[in-house]
């Protein structure tokens, strides 16, 4: 194309740099997921105190302090893992990465035991009342995101154990950690709404 | 699918087997092929959903008609509305974005080509899922067929008790699946424009089309997840016995309306802004002037995008909100008219004093301007709460939103098709047939939808399958149905034109309209890699700079 050749004529010397595709994409993914969480949070807030029958939140919910500490702590350990990867310290990276997965597993097992207790002891299911409906859907949506995040973490761990994760993949790993931070941040909202405001 | 096949590279001498071509479509990740596949599929759905509208009009042509039963009628308007919004409007804009955004910003493909293909196939499977309800739904439980709950599917009508069988589940899942497709394609468009613009293309040098498509994509990212969330809740209600919209357990049916319209109103602008985008490219080229007030256009569209997320409850004035709620949503509805008016004045300002060329794209743009003005005015009327109480759910509302979606959105898209078809195919669309399309469709449109305003003011509610004589609605409905025949004839002219011009159209050359944006610097149709060398731009109209080195734009911008 003659046109194209001519198009490049007026050359400017300034450097032309644009943001990384990965970062923009993950940021947008987080944005759009936030929009979805917002609707579930709004539904929860809207239905607080509107259940026609029990059990009610103040009767059955216990504040999940340990699991919250685990999940928020995992945001810290994943940062340590990332830093280790940047410094090409593979052993330390894998160590902190495994700790992160472990913390996620602890969180999920606390959620599982909480749900088990609610269902078997208090007979609260998703169809019992509005509290059950909104509680299981909001906490469940978050927990499913933890599961997705843990799967990603596990994938990176497997790849790393097989020696595929190197320093040049730092940004890839960072994207997983961005998603993980998002999942943790959502928990702060869910915790506030469900265990503090809603009780 | 023949419309899409033209994008495939022709084997010299021999014609590629049909099966090979189809295989090429299935495995492709090329943004241009996917763009054409989106548009081609959407046009097929347009014909299907248009035929449904046609049957609706025939049923309503005379009083006490029994062409279709009430049950079939309910399915018809539900499928018509759902298809037109999710299977025609959304994929057409996705197709335009896909095809044009990389070309306009001087990139070789989208940021994530495979994700792009994933988006298309999700949309297609969503569409097929919706239509398979006609076949599969009665087979499972013996109750119901296609969804019949209306395109906004108000609770509690969608509850297990009132919507037996699985037809509503088809509606939920089809929209869920195609919604994922829309979200990933929107994400892809934003990443592409943010991270892949060619050298020199700063944000304020992007073509307005690209600006508007970014804003649309942001709205998709923010507006579709609420719908998805609401649909998850509805599914939980229907299958696990949750109580979100179950009034007997204390749930709130109006909450569904809020959630739906938090999606539904931005959706209107998600569809309209791409039509604005087409106009913003076409009107300058056919007026031989740069767009009037480029920064103001960007600002006005951003304003529309921002305000449009706070107007949703103007669809709900009649459900009994507080007067504060009514006032707020009425006020925000008036506010959104301001940036919209700015845009109309900017297009007029571009045309004013220009050397107008009345080619087909320009004709459709001018039709758009007239009809969009009226659509906007009736929109403001409906934003006045007491007026809305009088006319809510009447044919006046039907006339209003068809003025926006047919008279404006579709006219803008038609303008875009006439404008970019030569680029995608390498041949011009036939002008004579195009003029037939324009006039038949224009006259048919006005015959159909102008009288509906009056029928609505005389009290005709929407969604009734027939009516008694003697209420003064007969003549308006008859004219309306005659208009539908003309619209169908016009649409047939377009379809015939698209097919005939594939082979017989006049050769277009690279730049048939003497335009200024980068897509016209490529071959027609563009090669798979778009640009041999990535271009570098210094102004908003790079091809103007190239054609007029003595007086380039970058001296003034």
Query: pLDDT-derived band of residue B142, with 50, 70 and 90 as boundaries?
Result: low
Q: Is the pLDDT of residue B13 over 50?
A: no
Is B221 inside a domain boundary? yes
Number of domains in chain B: 1
Mean pLDDT of A79-85: 95
Q: Is the pLDDT of residue B376 over 80?
A: yes
Residue B238: closest CA among chain A residues belongs to which residue?
Answer: A127
Q: Is the pLDDT of residue B2 over 80?
A: no
> What is the pLDDT, as a whole number, of residue A11?
53
Top residue of B114, B239, B244, B309 to mutate, by most chain A CBs within 10 Å, is B244
Query: pLDDT-derived band of residue B8, with 50, 70 and 90 as boundaries?
Result: very low
Mean pLDDT of A153-163: 95
Query: pLDDT-derived band of residue B5, with 50, 70 and 90 as boundaries?
Result: very low
> What is the pLDDT, as a whole number, of residue A1?
41
DSSP class per residue in chain A: -HHHHHHT-S---S------HHHHHHHHHHHHHHHHHHHHHHHHHHHTT--SSS--HHHH----HHHHHHHHHHHHHHHHHHHHHHTT-HHHHHHHHHHHHHHHHHHHHHHHHHHHHHHHTS---TTT-HHHHHHHHHHHHHHHHHHHHHHHHHHHHHHHHTT---GGGHHHHHHHHHHHHHHHHHHHHHHIIIIIIT-
Neighbouring C-alpha atoms within 13 Å toward the C-beta of B180: 15
Which letter does DSSP use for residue B403 in this model? I
Query: pLDDT-derived band of residue B187, with 50, 70 and 90 as boundaries?
Result: very high
> What is the pLDDT, as a whole number, of residue A5?
44
The parent domain of residue B265 ranges over 2-511
How far is the C-alpha of A9 from the C-alpha of B316, rounded, in Å?
57
How far is the C-alpha of B495 from the C-alpha of B488, rounded, in Å?
11
For CA atoms B109, B112, B114, B118, the dihedral sign is negative
> What is the pLDDT, as a whole number, of residue B144?
60
Query: pLDDT-derived band of residue B15, with 50, 70 and 90 as boundaries?
Result: low
How far is the C-alpha of B546 from the C-alpha of B521, rounded, in Å?
10
Q: Do A133 and B546 touch (CB under 8 A)?
A: no
Write out residues 73-102 of A within 8 Å (CB-CB) of B: none
Q: Is the pLDDT of residue B4 over 70?
A: no
Domains and CATH numbers, chain A: 20-47+65-197 (1.20.120.80)
**What CATH number should be reported for the domain holding residue B452?**
1.20.210.10
Q: Is the pLDDT of residue B1 over 60?
A: no
Chain B residues whose beta carbon lies within 8 Å of the beta carbon of residue A119: none
Q: What is the pLDDT of residues B468-508, one digit of tens each?
A: 999 999 999 999 999 999 999 999 999 999 999 999 999 99
Assign residue B426 a region: left if phi > 0, alpha if psi is -120 to 50, beta otherwise? left
B504's tokens: 């017989």
A24's tokens: 């923009």
Any bridge partners for residue B461, and if so which?
B394
Q: Do B187 and A28 touch (CB under 8 A)?
A: yes
Q: What is the pLDDT of residues B249-289, one digit of tens each?
A: 999 999 999 999 999 999 999 999 999 999 999 999 999 99
Chain A residues whose beta carbon lies within 8 Å of the beta carbon of residue B228: 36
Q: Do A16 and B224 touch (CB under 8 A)?
A: no
Mean pLDDT of B384-408: 95
Which letter does DSSP use for residue B460 in this model? P
Q: Is the pLDDT of residue B396 over 50?
A: yes
Neighbouring C-alpha atoms within 13 Å toward the C-beta of B203: 13
Q: Do A8 and B536 touch (CB under 8 A)?
A: yes
Q: Is the pLDDT of residue B172 over 80?
A: yes
Q: List b or e across B233-259, with b for residues whose CB sees 16 or more CB atoms inside 10 angstroms.
A: bbbbbbeebbbbbbeebbbbbbbbbbb
Query: pLDDT-derived band of residue A16, with 50, 70 and 90 as boundaries?
Result: confident
Mean pLDDT of A79-100: 95
Mean pLDDT of A105-114: 96
> What is the pLDDT, as a whole number, of residue A189?
97
> What is the pLDDT, as a whole number, of residue B137?
61
Rounded to a whole number of angstroms, the distance from the CA of B177 to the nearest CA of chain A is 15
Mean pLDDT of B56-79: 94
Chain B residues whose beta carbon lies within 8 Å of the beta carbon of residue A19: 194-195
Is B118 inside a domain boundary? yes
Phi, psi (degrees; rounded to nearest 5) at B199: -60, 135
Mean pLDDT of B294-318: 94
What does the mean pLDDT of chain B come to?
A: 92
How far is the C-alpha of A97 from the C-alpha of A104, rounded, in Å?
11
Q: Do B249 and A130 touch (CB under 8 A)?
A: yes
Mean pLDDT of B76-87: 96
> Rg of chain A's alpha carbons, rounded to an integer?
22
Closest partner residue to A31 (CB to CB) among B112, B221, B531 is B221
Query: Does residue B543 belong to the interface with chain A, where contact is any CB pair within 8 Å?
Result: yes
Is B548 inside a domain boundary? no
Nearest to B502 by CA among B31, B2, B1: B2
- Within 10 angstroms of residue B325's Cβ, the number of other Cβ atoms is 15
**Interface confidence (ipTM) of the complex:** 0.91
- CB A101 within 8 Å of CB A154: yes
The whole-model pTM stands at 0.93
């Amino acid at each position: 194309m003659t046109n194209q050749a001519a198009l490049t004529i007026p050359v400017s010397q300034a450097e032309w740099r644009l943001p990384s595709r990965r970062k923009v994409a993950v940021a947008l993914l987080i944005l759009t997921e936030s929009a979805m969480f917002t609707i579930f949070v709004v539904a929860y807030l809207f239905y607080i105190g509107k259940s026609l029958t029990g059990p009610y939140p103040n009767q059955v919910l216990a504040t999940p302090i340990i699991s919250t500490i685990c999940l928020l702590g995992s945001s810290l350990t994943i940062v340590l893992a990332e830093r280790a990867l940047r410094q090409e310290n593979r052993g330390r990276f894998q160590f902190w990465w495994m700790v992160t997965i472990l913390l996620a597993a602890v969180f999920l097992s606390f959620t599982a035991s909480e749900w088990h207790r609610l269902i078997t002891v208090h007979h609260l299911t998703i169809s019992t009342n509005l509290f059950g409906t909104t509680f299981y859907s909001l906490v469940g949506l978050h927990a499913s995101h933890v599961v997705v995040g843990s799967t990603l973490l596990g994938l990176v761990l497997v790849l790393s154990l097989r020696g595929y994760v190197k320093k040049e993949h730092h940004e890839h790993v960072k994207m997983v950690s961005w998603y993980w931070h998002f999942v943790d941040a959502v928990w702060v909202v869910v915790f506030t709404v469900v265990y503090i405001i809603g009780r | 699918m023949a419309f899409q096949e033209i994008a495939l590279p022709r084997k010299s001498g021999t014609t590629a087997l049909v099966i090979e071509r189809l295989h090429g479509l299935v495995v492709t990740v090329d943004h241009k092929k996917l763009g054409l596949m989106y548009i081609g599929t959407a046009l097929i759905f347009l014909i299907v959903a248009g035929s449904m509208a046609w049957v609706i009009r025939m049923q309503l042509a005379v009083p006490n008609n029994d062409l279709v039963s009430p049950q079939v009628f309910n399915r018809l308007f539900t499928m018509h509305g759902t298809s037109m919004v999710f299977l025609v409007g959304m994929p057409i804009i996705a197709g335009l974005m896909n095809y044009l955004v990389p070309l306009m910003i001087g990139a070789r493909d989208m940021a994530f080509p495979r994700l792009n293909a994933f988006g298309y196939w999700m949309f297609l499977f969503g569409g097929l899922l919706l239509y398979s309800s006609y076949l599969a739904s009665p087979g499972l439980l013996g109750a119901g067929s296609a969804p019949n709950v209306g395109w906004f599917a108000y609770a509690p009508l969608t509850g297990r008790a009132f919507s037996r069988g699985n037809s509503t589940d088809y509606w939920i899942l089809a929209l869920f699946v195609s919604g994922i497709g829309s979200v990933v394609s929107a994400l892809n468009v934003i990443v592409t424009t943010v991270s892949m613009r060619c050298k020199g293309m700063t944000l304020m040098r992007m073509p307005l089309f690209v600006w508007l498509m970014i804003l649309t994509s942001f709205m998709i990212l923010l507006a579709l997840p609420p719908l998805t969330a609401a649909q998850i809740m509805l599914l939980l209600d229907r299958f696990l016995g949750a109580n979100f919209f179950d009034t007997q357990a204390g749930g709130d049916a109006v909450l569904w309306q809020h959630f739906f319209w938090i999606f539904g109103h931005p959706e209107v602008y998600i569809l309209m802004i791409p039509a604005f985008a087409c106009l913003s490219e076409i009107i300058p080229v056919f007026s031989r002037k740069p767009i009037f007030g480029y920064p103001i256009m960007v600002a006005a569209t951003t304003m529309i995008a921002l305000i449009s997320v706070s107007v949703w409850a103007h669809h709900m004035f009649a459900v009994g909100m507080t007067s504060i709620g009514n006032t707020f949503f009425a006020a925000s509805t008036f506010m959104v008219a301001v940036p919209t008016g700015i845009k109309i004045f900017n297009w007029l300002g571009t045309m004013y004093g220009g050397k107008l060329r009345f080619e087909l794209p320009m004709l459709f743009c001018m039709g758009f301007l007239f009809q969009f003005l009226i659509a906007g005015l009736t929109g403001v009327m409906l934003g006045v709460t007491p007026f809305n109480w009088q006319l809510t759910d009447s044919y006046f509302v039907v006339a209003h939103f068809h003025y926006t979606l047919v008279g404006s959105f579709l006219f803008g898209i038609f303008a875009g098709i006439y404008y970019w078809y030569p680029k995608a195919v390498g041949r011009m669309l036939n002008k004579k047939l195009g003029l037939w399309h324009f006039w038949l469709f224009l006259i048919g449109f006005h015959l159909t939808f102008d009288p509906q305003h009056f029928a609505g003011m005389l009290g005709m509610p929407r969604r009734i399958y027939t009516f008694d004589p003697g209420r003064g609605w007969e003549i308006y409905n008859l004219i309306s149905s005659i208009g539908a025949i003309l619209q169908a004839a016009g649409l047939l002219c377009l379809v015939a034109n698209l097919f005939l011009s594939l082979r017989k159209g006049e050769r277009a050359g690279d730049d048939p309209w003497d335009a200024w944006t980068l897509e016209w610097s490529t071959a027609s149709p563009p090669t798979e890699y778009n640009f041999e060398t990535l271009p570098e731009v210094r102004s908003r109209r790079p091809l103007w700079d190239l054609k007029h080195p003595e007086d380039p734009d970058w001296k003034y911008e």
